[in-house]
Amino acid sequence: MNAEQFKQLVKKVKTAKKLPDAIYFHKDAFTEAPVELVKFIKVVAQALKVDEADYDLIKLFKNDFRLSLLSYPSFYEDSYPALKQSVTVDLAKLSHKVTKYDNSDNPPILHRKETMVSPSSKHYQLFCDLTAEGEQAGLYENTRMIGFKGSWERLIAKKGYELVDGRLFRSPDDDKTIDRHLTAIVRHELSAPLKTLAKNGFLNGDYSIFDYGCGRGDDLRELEAHGIDALGWDLNYRPDADKVISDIVNIGFVINVIEDRDERIEALVGAWELSQKLLVVSAMLGNESLVSQFQPYKDGVITSRNTFQKYYTQAELKAFIEMSVDENAIAVAPGIYYIFKDKQLEQHFLQNRHKRTYKWQHLTAPEPVNEEQARILFTQHQQLFESFWLTCLTLGRCPANDEFAQSDKIKKVIGSNKKALQLVLKWFEEDELKTAETMRKEDLLLYFALAMFEKRKPYTQQPEDLKRDIKAFFDTYKIAQNQATELLFQIADSTLIESLCLEAEKLLPAGKVDFENGQPHALTLHKDFITLLPIVLRVYIGAALQMYGELDDIQLIKIHIHSGKVTLLGYEGFYDSPLPQLKERVKIKMAEQDVDFFDYVIEEKRPLLLNKIDYIDDTFDDYKKQKSFNLKLGMLLETKPSLCTNSLLESLLKPVYKIKGYRFYK
């Protein structure tokens, strides 16, 4: 079995707990998994001499050729069983790693066990009841904090419950108080700001890290375990540690717990002075409804944990950072900003955020040529020239010597990269290179336009690769800036935006224009299709995202045609449910430079996405099922409500039909 076959089989597993990067299921659900996949899992286990009795759960990675055999011996006995042993197998590298937790005081634990067994299992209903019990107690509101036994038990106690024989019961009242200064939480995974650094390639070992306000040092331990040069200081937990100048400084969720505004500024400036390349700043976000639940104190509140919190809006946090350090702050996620001291590094980061890669479509047959030597040359070094061609498509142009790792070989074989390009164009489609060139030029225009939107000053020192791009695609930096300026002005032209949205609806694989009073109001599309939009609409969305960050938890984007707004919509179950529930709505107001966040915490009151089929195409795993579901739903509903919850939909379908998965039952 190869990686692609494995990936396709993983997609076919229906009974499993599905996370963004992996799925989990119990071996008792083997009967509902693809036979070929089950055989493969057993062969891997036998090869590693892992007896079937020594693993209970299987973790399959969606994007990597990897799997894990997990031992949860008390899976059926304990409500939240602990992991005893993990055997992770890298099938691409033919290596494996065994991790034991049987002597750990704080092992990983399981939740939502009903997702990992067959609905026909005798334990299924009990597992559903346990999950419902936890949801009612509010234990799943922050899933980042529930993966380990210690944090799970503390959360249960904090919510006023205790576990008795595996079930939740209200704890008797007591006089226990919490020290208001103990704001540092215990974590067992990287914090959100550090995760963004990992995602963007800053934790590859090339940069030293300093954690300003490191708390108990959980991030430091994890970084050190990966061999990364990381140090930290904290007023309460590491007051004697030195504050060390480092490439990257993280001041994570520190400024929001400082009661004095001047001290906040002092801490922020102090962290900025320590950073040589990049400062990462994060703080808690909150709206008026959240803040109103607590006791006001100065410009913040006293929380239920007797700690001070200053809740920011996204725009307020950006303004505070920029006022304090007098530098541009780049939003990478809600409540998380990057401030670059190294301006070349900043440009690389901003370029790569919007850079697309042209995929090589096919290898054409060689054209008849007279130069027999050229034909033989290509045949003898086919792999080298194919690799060179892929680099050309990535860059949209002929690579410089330091941009292609095998340039020395090219020089020996044919003389130069330019001669190599002339040769490979006899074998591959020149239109492909032109398409890649157009894509790269548009990506650069997007980058330059958004740089102006942020009012960043042009830098006198450009990275070498960017200089080459400018020369190849625009001739001069001034021409590139002029074209980007024209592009940026176009996003304020509502007539143009309207025509482009109507055009995009026809060209995109999926998407929908909504009308109000007979006039186009907004274009809504899935985030996967953003790169297919006309460049002006990409700039429109990119300008809005400067105030928000990455779209990790967002699926749909709504471009408001006439109001200069963009709405981001995050749905629970978008990829595996016919009726996703709206969990998060973010409205970005570009004119006001402000962001409004709306959370739908109460599950039964979450609006349903009735027309998911309008926003997906056949590249989505459930497309066919969704299409059939929507056809049936349209037939059953006499009227289609504009806003619908689960309870309302049930009342509209009762007493005849019920929905289970993608099917209707009488």
Does 645 lie in the same domain as 576?
no
| Residue length of the chain | 666
Does 234 lie in the same domain as 330?
yes
Two tokens, residue 420: 């190599």
Q: Is the peptide bond before 655 cis (omega within 30 degrees of 0)?
A: yes
Residue with tokens 């020996």: 412
Q: Which helix (H) or strand (E) holds 489?
A: helix 477-490
> Rounded distance, CA 554 to CA 585, Å?
9
- For 99-113, the pLDDT digits (tens) are 888 888 888 899 899
Q: What DSSP string describes 170-183?
A: EPPP------TT--
Two tokens, residue 276: 């040589």
Structural domain contains residue 418 = yes
* Cα–Cα separations (whole angstroms), residue 290 to 311, 587, 616: 9, 17, 34
Does 312 lie in the same domain as 200?
yes
Would strands 209-212 and 246-252 be described as parallel, antiparallel, or unpaired?
A: parallel
> Rounded distance, CA 539 to CA 26, Å?
46
Q: Given this model, what pLDDT does residue 184 score? A: 47
Structural domain contains residue 415 = yes
- For 237-256, the pLDDT digits (tens) are 888 889 999 999 999 989 98
Angle at 485 between CA 525 and CA 446, to 5 degrees: 40
Q: Given this model, what pLDDT does residue 655 score? A: 63
CB atoms within 10 A of CB 139: 21
> Rounded distance, CA 329 to CA 239, Å?
28
Structural domain contains residue 174 = no
3-state SS, residue 210: strand
Structural domain contains residue 175 = no
Two tokens, residue 638: 């006499």
Structural domain contains residue 106 = yes
Q: Given this model, what pLDDT does residue 616 score? A: 95
Q: Is the torsion defined by CA of 179, 180, 183, 188 positive or negative?
A: positive
Does 419 lie in the same domain as 326?
no
> Rounded distance, CA 193 to CA 183, Å?
17
Does 412 lie in the same domain as 539?
no
Estimate to the nearest angstrom the gap between the alpha carbon of 425 and the chain centroid.
Answer: 37
3-state SS, residue 660: strand
Q: Given this model, what pLDDT does residue 457 score? A: 53
> Rounded distance, CA 375 to CA 356, Å?
32
Domain boundary among 53, 84, 116: 116
Q: Given this model, what pLDDT does residue 177 score? A: 33
Does 24 lie in the same domain as 64?
yes
Does 610 lie in the same domain as 628?
no
Domain boundary among 395, 413, 428: 428
Does 199 lie in the same domain as 312?
yes
Does 299 lie in the same domain as 388?
no
Does 238 lie in the same domain as 275?
yes
Q: Given this model, what pLDDT does residue 333 score? A: 85
Q: Given this model, what pLDDT does residue 552 score? A: 85
29 is in which domain, residue-wise?
3-116
Q: Which amino acid is at 376?
A: I
- β-partners of residue 57 are 26, 70
Low-confidence ranges of the chain (pLDDT < 50): 172-187, 359-371
Does 414 lie in the same domain as 521?
no
Q: What is the DSSP letter of 552?
A: T
3-state SS, residue 252: strand
Does 413 lie in the same domain as 292?
no
* Cα–Cα separations (whole angstroms), residue 176 to 157, 172, 348: 11, 11, 51
Structural domain contains residue 132 = no
What is the number of structural domains in the chain? Answer: 5
Question: Radius of gyration over alpha carbons of the chain, in Å?
Answer: 28
Residue whose C-alpha is closest to residue 150's, from 58, 218, 226, 230: 218
Q: Is the peptide bond before 20 cis (omega within 30 degrees of 0)?
A: no
Residue whose C-alpha is closest to residue 560's, from 479, 511, 497: 497
Structural domain contains residue 354 = no
Domain boundary among 341, 360, 395: 341
Structural domain contains residue 269 = yes
